[in-house]
């Protein structure tokens, strides 16, 4: 039950926070650099798969260990690390293979992934400790 509550709380936090981030940052950060690579519309099935899978990782690697340790700090640290390494893999691969991917974009996006992972994990942990 802890894992299920933690997952759904992390899922809700992840989607809500990333929606705000993308709403604010797409026109300011991503479009100026990547406009020629961007699709005209979002591929919703692919986005849905990502948004369903990423919180599974947050739950497994951050929420569940934090619940075992009884530590919000553990959720924050492990969530941040999960986000850091996930986003670093994506961003640095793109920077290595795509002509116009910038270091600035990678640094900002990796930092965002770290914050997002920490936020989603802490929400998952807090919900699981309260409602499971």
Mean pLDDT of the chain: 97
Residue 90 burial (10 A CB sphere; 0-12, 13-18, 19+): middle
97-117: pLDDT as tens digits: 999 999 999 999 999 999 999
For the chain, the domains span: 2-131
74-92: pLDDT as tens digits: 999 999 999 999 999 999 9
3-state helix, strand, coil in the chain (%, to 5): 85, 0, 15
**Cβ(91)–Cβ(108) below 8 Å:** no
27-58: pLDDT as tens digits: 999 999 999 999 999 999 999 999 999 999 99
How many angstroms from the chain centroid is the CA of residue 3? 18
**Cβ(121)–Cβ(75) below 8 Å:** yes
Helix (H) or strand (E) holding 13: helix 2-25
pLDDT band at 132, cuts 50/70/90?
confident
């Amino acid at each position: 039950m802890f894992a299920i509550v933690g997952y759904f709380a992390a899922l809700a936090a992840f989607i809500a926070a990333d929606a705000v981030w993308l709403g604010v940052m797409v026109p300011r950060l991503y479009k100026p650099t990547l406009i020629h690579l961007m699709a005209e519309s979002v591929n919703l099935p692919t986005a849905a798969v990502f948004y369903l899978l990423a919180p599974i990782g947050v739950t497994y690697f951050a929420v569940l260990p934090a619940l075992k340790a009884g530590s919000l700090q553990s959720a924050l640290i492990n969530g941040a690390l999960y986000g850091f390494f996930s986003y670093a893999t994506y961003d640095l691969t793109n920077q290595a293979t795509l002509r116009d991917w910038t270091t600035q974009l990678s640094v900002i996006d990796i930092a965002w992934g770290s914050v997002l992972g920490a936020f989603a994990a802490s929400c998952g942990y807090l919900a699981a400790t309260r409602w499971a």
